[in-house]
Structure 1
Amino acid sequence: MKRRGLGLLRPLGDDVSAADWAVTAARDFADHAVGSLVPPVFEAYARVFHPARREEAGRDVQVRWGEVAAANGRRAHAGMQWTAITGSWKYLHEETQPGVWDIEPEEGTLPAVQAEALVQVLAGFTTTAHECFYAVWDGFGASAVPPAAAKVRMPGREMLLLIGPLSQAATVSTETPPWEQSPSLWWPADRAWCVATDVDLMSTYVGASAACVEAITTAPELEAWPIDSDHGITYDSDTLNPVVSPPA
């Protein structure tokens, strides 16, 4: 699926009160926890891993983190980190592991295929799929969001607020072509769940009901694990694999 423009998403104007609950509830960004991205007010949380890709017979094949971990003798779990399961920082933006993966996971954006699968799940757990709020980090260099959009001052990440139907989460790009950029934070008007994709991460986090998280983590199209809102989101938060320190 290719994302094209903002579609039905539109600026909300000067009133950003719809985001007050998220601004107030989110943990300090310096905590570097799941709750710093998704407000820690939900019953349960899920981590959705952005897949790597491997070239096979002229086409891209999605590669799950669990496959990468197994190939490197590491353990797949909810808190795994890319440098820990690959074993080196050289596999972040530099080298690849031919035969395992050729293109690293998308950083800072939820790939369209995973976005569509996630939307299919989330649609069954809200009564306001027709009205969702989308916050977009205002630091993107090729932003397609109108400059008049009102600003939401999330901890550590100021964002611009849009409104539109849930279906748009899987089809729009908040950056101008040829770049594809998912929204940074989105939730329905009934606040039944909330989705966050931080600009620096290769994962997307969801806060929701326990039933919704179970549906996300069992969806065959997604590689997702239940996770706690207190869990860390940095490279050194992998508690089951050897943590590799970044180069000096």
Structure 2
Amino acid sequence: MQASSDPSSADWLVHAERDWWDLAVRGPLGYASYARLRFIPDPTHPGQREGEADAPYDDRSETEQLAVVVATLAKHTTTPEDCYFCVWEGWGGLEVHGAARIALPEREAFLFRGPALDLPQWEQALDPPGPEGLPIPSFVWPADRSWCIGNDVDPHFATIGASSSAIEDVLADRGVDTVADDPDRPQPGYSY
């Protein structure tokens, strides 16, 4: 996993015909199926705050949970060794050298590239290493674009777009909390 200096690999996201919020939260349209990786369970009543979630938090970091999904999706791409990872530049104190700045609307990001299965080491991808490491990626996709994960900083979930068989495999993995998603319907959200 290393910084990537070529911003053209993210042009398809930068120029996606989608409202910036929907792109950041739900990723690009055009996939056969969608799912959500829930870092915490969905709210059960209006006005609920994240700290009032009805189930305990997963002990693993969000990046570790995302890595489980990416490992499943790696079986559904012809380019598992060539994937892209964006990190939102708005995280405080983030110093990235050598990475292209991706001009995503309202969510500019830095671009990294590496094998899908290197995501568990994502936090150490800075060169030189930073004291905090990298926060969770905001987008992940393989070079063949057979799937894409959108993960905005605000919601309690990441959205996965992929083939129907890839989404079936993601939903079948009981190691993470995933549910089917419909990009035409609003998602549940916590109050802030």
Report the TM-score, using the length of structure 2 for normalisation.
0.82
Partner residue of 2:87 out of 136, 148, 153: 136
Q: Deviations over 1:199-238 (max 9, x none)?
A: 11110111100110111111111221111222324638xx
Aligned to 2:30: 41
Deviation at 1:117, TM superposition (A): 1.9
Structure 1, unmatched stretches of 5+, are: 1-8, 52-64, 66-80, 237-245
Do structure 1's residue 217 and structure 2's residue 171 form an aligned pair? yes
- Secondary structure of 1:220's partner? coil
Structure 2, unmatched stretches of 5+, are: none
Aligned to 2:117: 167
Q: Is the 8 A contact 2:27 2:161 kept in 1?
A: yes
Identical-residue share of aligned pairs (%): 28
Do structure 1's residue 192 and structure 2's residue 146 form an aligned pair? yes
Question: Using a 3 Å threshold, how does the CA distance of structure 1 residues 37 and 158 change in structure 2: closer, same or farther?
Answer: farther
Structure-2 separation of matches of 1:152 and 1:35: 13
Aligned to 1:18: 9
Question: Using a 3 Å threshold, how does the CA distance of structure 1 residues 92 and 118 change in structure 2: closer, same or farther?
Answer: closer
- Secondary structure of 2:84's partner? strand
Structure-2 separation of matches of 1:102 and 1:178: 25
Within a 5 Å distance, the mapping from 1:110-189 to structure 2 comes to: 110-112=62-64, 114-143=65-94, 145-146=96-97, 148-173=98-123, 176-178=130-132, 181-189=135-143
Within a 5 Å distance, the mapping from 1:71-82 to structure 2 comes to: 81-82=42-43
Deviation at 1:101, TM superposition (A): 4.5
Deviation at 1:153, TM superposition (A): 1.4
Q: Is the 8 A contact 2:82 2:116 kept in 1?
A: yes
Structure-1 separation of matches of 2:155 and 2:59: 9
Aligned to 1:204: 158
* Most deviating of 206-215 and 33-42: 33-42
Deviation at 1:88, TM superposition (A): 4.1
Report the TM-score, using the length of structure 1 for normalisation.
0.65
- Secondary structure of 1:117's partner? helix
* Most deviating of 203-212 and 134-143: 134-143
Q: Is the 8 A contact 1:26 1:38 kept in 2?
A: no
Specify the code of the residue in structure 1 equivalent to 2:14.
Answer: V
Q: Is the 8 A contact 2:25 2:151 kept in 1?
A: no
- Secondary structure of 1:171's partner? helix
Question: Using a 3 Å threshold, how does the CA distance of structure 1 residues 205 and 105 change in structure 2: closer, same or farther?
Answer: farther
Do structure 1's residue 92 and structure 2's residue 50 form an aligned pair? yes
Deviation at 1:178, TM superposition (A): 4.8
Specify the code of the residue in structure 1 equivalent to 2:31.
Answer: F
Superposition RMSD in Å: 2.9
Structure-2 separation of matches of 1:198 and 1:35: 5
Question: Using a 3 Å threshold, how does the CA distance of structure 1 residues 86 and 157 change in structure 2: closer, same or farther?
Answer: same
How many equivalent pairs are there?
Answer: 188
